Amino acid sequence: MKINSLGKSLAVLLGVLALAACGSRDTAPPATQTSDLEGPVVEQRWNLLLVGTDERLSMPERAWFRISSDGKVSGSDGCNPLMGQASLGESQRIEFNELATGRRACPQAEDAQRIRTMLETAYRYLIDHDRLVFFGPDQRVLGGWRKAN
């Protein structure tokens, strides 16, 4: 399989980040909800780029999410509308709560569930230019998102 330069760049970035994360101990407090969330992840639409470190999904519609300053999450899992709450904390902690979706039938329902699981499992994030990477509590890369233009 031939990987384009964007994929190579993201793969290298994810590899470096994973190695850096392995050397650190997690002492960050859990994410907490504040009255107004701020930061580069807030008020920005993020489109799904990869699941894990290199898997691209072909979905009926683009999977995406947005966190508003009041912590509300809106988006799509690629099949159905997505909504919920997000909390941010110190050391790039993130937590998605109360995620819910529509119930429309979808041939890629398993992939849509993988996207929801990525969000529900997200523990920490890192932003590099226009890329957002989620890590699980075990510091494993869960997936990557790209800032929408």
Is pLDDT at 115 greater than 70 in this prediction?
A: yes
Report pLDDT digits (tens) over 87-100. 999 999 999 999 99
* Phi (first) and psi of residue 56, to 5 degrees: -95, 135
Higher-pLDDT residue of 35, 137 = 137
Report pLDDT digits (tens) over 73-92. 999 999 999 999 999 999 99
Eight-state DSSP code of residue 29: P
What are the chain's domains?
Answer: 5-25+33-147 (2.40.128.270)
Give the span between the Cα atoms of 137 and 28, in whole angstroms.
11
Confidence of residue 118 (pLDDT cuts 50, 70, 90): very high
pTM of the model: 0.76
Report pLDDT digits (tens) over 132-141. 999 999 999 9
